[in-house]
């Protein structure tokens, strides 16, 4: 099936969010009118025989309508506030347990390795991982408002019943939801439906109270009790009819996104049988969540159906398993059934085929992927064995956003294999992640200067310099080289997200001290501080709303950003000015400044904050203009790549490692 581009999917997700709000308001209006009709039938004999539309504008009608709207609104707002904690709150709601980064469980370790490979390859921070220990079914979901605070939850059955390739297919499916912005819609759907469901629950309570109390108490007015019971019955029917139609809308939206996520998983893993076999096992073993009362609420979020639904053809949030498998690859379902008939053990339905990146070192692989033409940093560029043998036409960098390439996945696998065990385990701890931020800024300095820089930091048991940890990190970073700086930082993000707000502020302050120590800011220092500020500052998990729908509104921010890239991509001021004018040609009015001015760290942050509020469909041109600056001379060094990936991250456009050479290799 056709797989639209990242920016089209982002724009579609935002439109779906607006559509869901409109449909929710429509449902609230219809439910309010239905409740008012019940109120009219109950009270008309006590007031008058006014027509319904006159009664609706009377004090009785307005009071009833206001009460219903407030009830539904409060119910939704309470759940919305409850889910404000993001993905971690959703995971706790269903009773999931955090998977410790240094877990010794082999199944959990396999799961974490797959997620880390996919995160590094796609250019997003590693999500927090959870497992539902008591669920033997096969299922998974992601939750959160932004990729930076996403969580991924799997059932215990998914870890034990799926092979590595099958689990990789499931992870690829869930990463598609992260990249496409589906998580926000999923969490908001839970909140919006909660208010409508509350109306039905109150009706059920009144129904029980009316008829139960009426049967127990003979001294009370039986007619009043019966009236309460009938009102409760009407409210329950109206509330649950509203939920029915709400879930109908939910299912219709979810089915389309699930088919798209299946296609994206195949694109990411290049292994159709991985996700196909996982779906086949769900068809055999089931994916229903039996240990949580929120299974129906989570149905639209999960990899497969999590709750048994009546009228499943209407309310199922996912297409039928057979249809999903056939959509992935025609004839696959027949092959999987044939293997089952041959009585092959379940774990052999799909042979594990772990990918290896060859015997080349990490830096050699990066030369193949990132810088096939960077004469400044590599004496003998090696063409990637994964790249095509024939020259390819230039491809815009924006087409690579939100994808996973063979080269970027190979880089991720090779990086994780070459990380020393102690170094990697330190990245999973708060103390180790903090020291990593310091080490990244000093690892290429002499020992004496390293001590001088670390002396600038205030002593603190957690946030101060810890020589014993730095001694284990600095040699590893020096051996891995500059190419590994941002990938290892992404591995440390789950630990950094666990810092308290005060600890985050102190960390950012210490990083700023180290950056300012030499009175100059390198491109990497600029990228590091901007990245940390974006993901660790207060409100980092909040969704950035669209504010600008044309380039004229953001011209000052564009000038600052492209000035920086023009200066970073050239050696002389004259060449920088020329490159700046070329990059601005697609945005300007013909009256652009002729010089590429200097840009401070604060100005860059402000510019990126403004540009992130652009409509998703306007962001590709910004990415491509920056890419033009770094590839115009046929060379892309590590610093230029880090700056390019930083901008993509700040604009919520995850960029894989592949795609920085002029011909797209």
Q: Given phi > 0 = left and psi -120 to 50 = alpha, else beta, which region is 127?
A: beta
Q: Using CB atoms within 10 Å of the CB of residue 99, give its burial: 0 to 12 exposed, 13 to 18 middle, 19+ buried.
A: buried
Task: Please indicate whether residue 174 is annotated as part of the active site.
Answer: yes
CA 455, chain centre distance (Å)? 38
Maximum CA pair distance of the chain?
A: 98
Nearest-angstrom CA–CA distance, 144 and 127? 10
- Are 58 and 47 within 8 A, CB to CB? yes
- Are 192 and 246 within 8 A, CB to CB? yes
DSSP letter assigned to residue 584: H
Q: Would the CA dihedral through 336, 342, 345, 350 be positive or negative?
A: negative
CB proximity list for 244: less than 8 A, separation 6 or greater: 315
Nearest-angstrom CA–CA distance, 38 and 109? 57
Residue bearing tokens 């999590």: 306
Helix (H) or strand (E) holding 97: strand 97-98
Nearest-angstrom CA–CA distance, 10 and 615? 9
Q: Would the CA dihedral through 199, 202, 203, 204 be positive or negative?
A: positive
- Are 573 and 598 within 8 A, CB to CB? no
In 3D space, the residue among 473, 478, 660, 629 whose CA is nearest the CA of residue 561 turns out to be: 629
* 101: its two tokens: 């980064």
Residue bearing tokens 């970027």: 408
Beta bridge partners of residue 548, listed in sequence order: 614
Q: Could you say which of 174, 258, 482, 490 is catalytic?
A: 174
Q: Using CB atoms within 10 Å of the CB of residue 420, give its burial: 0 to 12 exposed, 13 to 18 middle, 19+ buried.
A: middle
Q: Hey, which residues are catalytic here?
A: 174
């Amino acid at each position: 099936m056709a797989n639209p581009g990242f920016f089209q999917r982002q724009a579609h997700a935002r439109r779906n969010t607006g559509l869901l709000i409109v449909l929710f308001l429509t449902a609230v209006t219809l439910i309010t009118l239905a409740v008012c009709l019940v109120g009219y039938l109950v009270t008309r004999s006590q007031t008058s025989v006014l027509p319904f539309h006159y009664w609706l504008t009377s004090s009785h009608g307005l009071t009833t309508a206001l009460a219903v709207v407030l009830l539904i609104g409060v119910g939704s707002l309470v759940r919305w506030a409850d889910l404000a904690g993001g993905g971690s709150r959703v995971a706790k709601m269903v009773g999931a347990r955090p998977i410790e980064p240094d877990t010794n469980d082999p199944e959990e370790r396999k799961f974490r390795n797959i997620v880390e490979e996919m995160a590094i390859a796609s250019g997003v921070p590693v999500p927090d991982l959870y497992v539902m220990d008591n669920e033997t079914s096969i299922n998974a979901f992601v939750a959160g408002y932004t990729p930076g605070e996403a969580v991924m939850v799997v059932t215990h059955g998914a870890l034990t019943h799926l092979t590595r390739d099958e689990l990789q297919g499931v992870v690829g499916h869930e990463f598609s939801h992260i990249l496409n912005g589906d998580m926000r819609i999923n969490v908001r759907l839970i909140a919006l439906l909660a208010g409508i469901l509350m109306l039905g629950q109150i009706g059920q309570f009144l129904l029980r109270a009316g008829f139960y109390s009426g049967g127990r108490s003979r001294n009370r007015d039986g007619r009043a009790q019966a009236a309460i019971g009938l009102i409760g019955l009407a409210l329950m029917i109206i509330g649950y009819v509203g939920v029915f139609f709400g879930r109908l809308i939910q299912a219709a939206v979810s089915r389309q996104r699930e088919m798209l996520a299946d296609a994206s998983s195949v694109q990411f893993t290049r292994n159709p049988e991985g996700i196909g076999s996982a779906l086949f096992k769900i068809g055999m073993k089931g994916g229903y969540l039996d240990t949580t009362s929120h299974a129906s609420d989570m149905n639209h979020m999960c990899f497969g159906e999590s709750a048994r639904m009546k009228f499943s053809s209407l309310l199922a949030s996912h297409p039928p398993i057979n249809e999903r498998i056939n959509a992935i690859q025609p004839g696959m379902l027949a092959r999987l059934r044939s293997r089952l008939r041959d009585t092959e053990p379940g774990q052999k339905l799909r042979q594990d085929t772990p990918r290896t990146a060859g015997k080349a070192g990490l830096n050699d692989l990066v030369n193949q992927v990132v810088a096939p033409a960077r004469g400044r940093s590599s004496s003998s560029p090696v063409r990637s064995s994964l790249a095509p043998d024939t020259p390819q036409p230039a491809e815009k960098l924006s087409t690579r956003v939100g994808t996973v390439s063979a080269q970027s996945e190979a880089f991720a696998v090779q990086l994780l294999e070459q990380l020393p065990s102690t170094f990697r385990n330190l990245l999973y701890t708060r103390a180790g992640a903090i020291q990593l931020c310091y080490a990244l800024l000093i690892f290429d300095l002499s020992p004496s200067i390293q001590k001088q820089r670390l002396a600038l930091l205030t002593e603190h048991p957690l946030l101060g310099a810890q020589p014993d940890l730095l001694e284990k990190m600095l040699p590893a970073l020096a051996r891995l080289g500059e190419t590994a700086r941002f990938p290892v930082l992404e591995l440390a993000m789950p630990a950094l997200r666990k810092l308290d707000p005060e600890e985050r502020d102190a960390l950012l302050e210490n990083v700023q001290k180290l950056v300012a120590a030499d009175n100059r800011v390198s491109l990497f220092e600029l990228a590091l501080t901007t990245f940390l500020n974006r993901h660790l500052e207060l409100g980092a998990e909040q969704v950035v709303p669209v504010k600008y729908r044309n380039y004229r509104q953001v011209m000052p921010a564009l000038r600052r950003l492209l000035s920086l890239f023009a200066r970073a991509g050239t050696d002389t001021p004259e060449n920088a000015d020329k490159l700046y004018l070329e990059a601005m040609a697609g945005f300007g009015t013909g009256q652009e400044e002729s010089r590429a001015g200097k840009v401070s760290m604060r100005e860059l942050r402000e510019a990126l904050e403004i540009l992130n509020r652009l409509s998703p469909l306007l962001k590709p041109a910004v990415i491509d203009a920056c890419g033009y600056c770094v590839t115009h001379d046929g060379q892309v060094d590590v610093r230029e790549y880090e700056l390019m990936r930083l901008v993509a991250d700040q604009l919520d456009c995850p960029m894989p490692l592949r795609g920085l050479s002029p011909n797209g290799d």
